[in-house]
Structure formats: structure tokens, C-alpha cells
Amino acid sequence: MSTLHTRRLDPFRIEIVRTPPMRTTGLVYANQAIERTLGDENVLHQVANVAALPGIIGPSMAMPDIHWGYGFPIGGVAAFSVEDGIISPGGVGYDINCGICCILTGMRLADVRGRLDKLLTALYNHVPAGVGSSNPKLAATGREFRKVLEKGAGWAVKKGYVPPSDLEAHEDEGCIEGADPDAVSGKAVERGQPQLGTLGSGNHFLELDVVDLVSDRTTAEGFGLFEDQVVVQVHTGSRGLGHQICDDHVHAMVAAAARHGISLPDRQLACAPVRSAEGREYFGAMACAANFAFANRELIVFLIRSAFEQVFGGSFERLGMRLLFDCCHNIAKLERVVWEGAVIQACVHRKGATRALPPGDARLPGRFRETGQPVLVPGDMGRVSYILSGEPGAAETFFSACHGAGRLLSRHEAKKRARGRQILEELRRKDIRAMAASRATLAEEIPEAYKDVSDVVDTVTGAGIAKAVARLRPVAMVKG
């Protein structure tokens, strides 16, 4: 594709002008600070490449945490007509339903300060972390594993690990319809079976935070948040299962695109029509991975509650441990969208983007009808995170918002800059305790490897996509 032409529409939006073979414009959400992080045009070219795919509805979009990804940029949002559009594994990513959940507690920082080291150790021991980590005690096999793939978080409820009330705190109640275990390869099953209830590595984490600022008291009260409250964030996904499913289908779709006469500006955008046999098969397998991820995070919630019970005594209910919300940010979903006054059935790809439903949306469970959906936006391991709520302005993004800070440095460059440094000691000087399965992971995840999440949040709130509800400060964390 030739040189891109961009123009700033307002303080929070940059348009990529339509240039052939683009079928539509590109729209990047970026304030001045985020614009300075975009660097060269490579990542914008990814936005433009997505705009060249058939059946796209509206612009090809990117949230302010945009960075380079496989085919689609991470932070990318794109909707495609079910009638003549496509579905693409690159628009979902390798870690299918990588997502985040937030667990509330009834405790303040002073309640845990004296037992913080003991609590961190208990969390580290309860939740397996690291490359290839497994959890034999929670593994499911055979017919039971098929139920995990079909039922998602509901499986964890039925097995008695978590209470039924947790399901209302999940996007789509923790289950994507249309899962087809027969579309999942034996190799993917083999990789996934031992990894239920595990954190993994890379940017996945378990983090103990304290609410250090409430921006919207009414919404915060609706969510159950208060200043100085201790909360827990968990960031992980479908582990080896999702990675293998993506790998299996992305290669098959290169040939599928050719068979269906789809011209690809980048082979990593391999895709197939949504309603084709290849498209349906990928969707069925992807939904299985998404449901695995929902179940995986719920099992980790169970393990976290168990760790708290061990350290503080009594039940998790007495400790006020309630799931605020669990959302996915690597997914393709069939949704009804409104574009140019028409209601269209679409396949909405959110890759490194979170659904953000506003108050009154019929898809919200009762507890969030007045507040809007919680939007969880973690920062890096040395800076703050945010809890937002969806706003009506998110209609222009097909109700999508950012999912985190967004990388600035490659993992290789981050490791290079971390050479010789004592990352754990640097964090401790910020009054943040950390335990990690690998020093290499700590090096890859140094704070300067990421954008400042406050700039990301300033953009989505300024654009009217979401509003800030509370800010979280990290206290302790487990890394893979």
C-alpha cells in the first residue's frame, strides 16, 4: 500500500484517508501524547490493510493502546457484514479471549498490609504461573473437557468451584454460543487440558491493587467500589489451546481466501467469508477457546479466594470477595450493529479491545443497567490501572474501548533495556511487591515497555467512549 494520508479530526481522533485498495477509512483514537507513540507508519498500515477486507462496515478502527500485531493491529476493532464479510483469525489473535477480571474485597489496605508478604506467597503457590504451567488438580479430560469448551464459566459453576452469582458478572454470562468441540484439533486439546486454572506467562498477571481515586462516586457505588479498597485483577486467556486453534486455522485460511477470491494485502490477514464452511469451522473452534478462557479465569478466581481464606481465615463471602466483572478482549462476535441508520448482523472483531456497553443496553445484566458495563483497563506493573464504564458515545466504535496500556517496546528491546537491572528491587522501592516464575518475564514487562495508561484513558474518555470511575494503584503481583 502506498504512503498513507492522515488528518486529525479532533483532539482524540485521527482519520486515515481512504486510498485504494482501502474500501473505507481508518479511524485511530489518539490524543497528542498517544500520537507521539505511534512511531513510523507500520502500525497505521495495519489499520489501512484491515480497511481493504471485503464486507467491512464503517471504518477500520484502532483504540489508543494500538501497537503492532499479527495481521490486525492490537487495539484494532472492525465489523464485517455476515452476508458478504469475512472472519479472520488475525483479527482475534493467538491468545483467544485473553481477558481480565476484577475481584472486589471488603477490605482496606490497612487490613492486608501486615500480611501482604504472606498473602502474596499464598497467591503464588495457589495459582500456577509461567511458561507451560499446568494444574493437575483442576485438569478436565474426555467428555468433561468438551463441557468446558461448550459451557465456559458455567462449567465452573456446575462443578461447584464458584457461585452462580459470578455468571452475571461476565460478558455474555461467560459463554460464547456456537462452540463446536469437533472443530478443535487433537493437538489443541492436548495442549489445553492440563492448563485449566493457570496464569501462563508474558503479559499475564495476577495483581493486588488498592482503589486510590474514585472519579464517579455514583457509578463506583453501583459497582461496589470505595476508596482504599483492596481489589484483585487477573489477566490471562486460553493458554496453549487458543494458540493452537489460531495456528491451525490461520494457515488453513490462506488457501481459503484464495478459493473465495479474496485479495489479501497481507497474508497474516488470512480469512474466509463468515458463512463459508471455513468461517463457520473457525468460529466454532474460536468459541471453544473463548469458553475455555472464561472457565480458566473462573478457576483462578476460585484459587484466589482460597488463598485469601487461608491467610485471613473465614469464608470468601465474609471477606466480601465478589466478582465485579470478567471481559474478553481478543474475540470475534456475532452482534447486531447500527450503521448509517440500518441494523446489520455483523461479525465484530475486537483484538486488544474491550466491549463497552452504555447504561440501558439490553445486553447488560440487571446490576449494570443503570451504570453501564465495567471496562477494566490495566496499566503496566509499575503504574496505575483504571476501571471505566461504557458511555453512549461508544456506539461509533460498535461499543468497543481500549483494553490496557499498549506496548511501546518489543520484548527483545525491553529485555535489552532491563539488562543488569534489579526489577524486583525497583518495584519494591515503589512499595510494590512482586513474585515471578521467570526473570525474563520481568525484563519483558518493565514499565517503560508500555504507554502510560493514563494517556490511553484520557483519549477514550475524551472521545466519549467511556467515563473514568476509579483508579487503582498496584500493591503486589504475581507474574509468569
Bridge partners of 102, per DSSP, are: 233, 325
Read off the pLDDT of residues 20-33 as tens digits, 9 standing for 90 and up: 999 999 999 999 99
The pLDDT of residue 132:
86
The pLDDT of residue 438:
86
Q: What average pLDDT does range 34-45 have in this prediction?
A: 88
Q: Please give the helix or strand (H or E) that residue 103 lies within, else none.
A: strand 99-108
Mean predicted lDDT score pLDDT of the chain: 96
The pLDDT of residue 414:
94
Using the predicted structure, report yes or no on whether residue 109 has a pLDDT greater than 80.
yes
**pLDDT band at residue 1 under the 50/70/90 scheme:** low
Percent above pLDDT 90 for the chain: 96
Using the predicted structure, report yes or no on whether residue 199 has a pLDDT greater than 90.
yes
Using the predicted structure, report yes or no on whether residue 131 has a pLDDT greater than 60.
yes
Residue of 89, 164, 205 lying closest to 444 (CA atoms) = 205
Read off the pLDDT of residues 2-16 as tens digits, 9 standing for 90 and up: 689 999 999 999 999
How far is CA 51 from each of CA 23, 246, 269, 334, 476, rounded to the nearest angstrom?
6, 22, 11, 19, 41
3-state secondary structure 433-452: EEEECCHHHHHHCCHHHECC
Catalytic residue among 5, 67, 403, 412: 403
The pLDDT of residue 206:
97
Q: Which of 296-300, 435-439, 450-454 has the lowest mean pLDDT?
A: 435-439
Query: Using alpha carbons only, what angle is made at residue 166 by residues 198 and 349, rounded to the nearest 5 degrees?
Result: 70
How far is CA 445 from each of CA 205, 213, 414, rounded to the nearest angstrom?
10, 25, 7
How far is CA 48 from each of CA 182, 362, 403, rounded to the nearest angstrom?
35, 33, 21
Q: Please give the helix or strand (H or E) that residue 398 lies within, else none.
A: none
Q: Please give the helix or strand (H or E) that residue 323 lies within, else none.
A: strand 322-328
Using the predicted structure, report yes or no on whether residue 41 has a pLDDT greater than 70.
no
Give yes or no for a contact between 69 and 93, defined as CB atoms under 8 angstroms apart.
yes
Residue ranges covered by each domain of the chain: 6-479
Is 403 catalytic? The answer is yes
Strand-pair category, 86-87 with 400-402: unpaired
Give yes or no for a contact between 97 and 334, defined as CB atoms under 8 angstroms apart.
no
Residues 6+ apart with CB under 8 A from 390: 355, 356, 357, 358, 359, 361, 372, 373, 375, 399, 401, 465, 466
Give yes or no for a contact between 62 and 91, defined as CB atoms under 8 angstroms apart.
no
Q: What average pLDDT does range 141-162 have in this prediction?
A: 97
Class of the CATH-defined domain 6-479: alpha beta
Read off the pLDDT of residues 377-414 as tens digits, 9 standing for 90 and up: 999 999 999 999 999 999 999 999 999 999 999 999 99
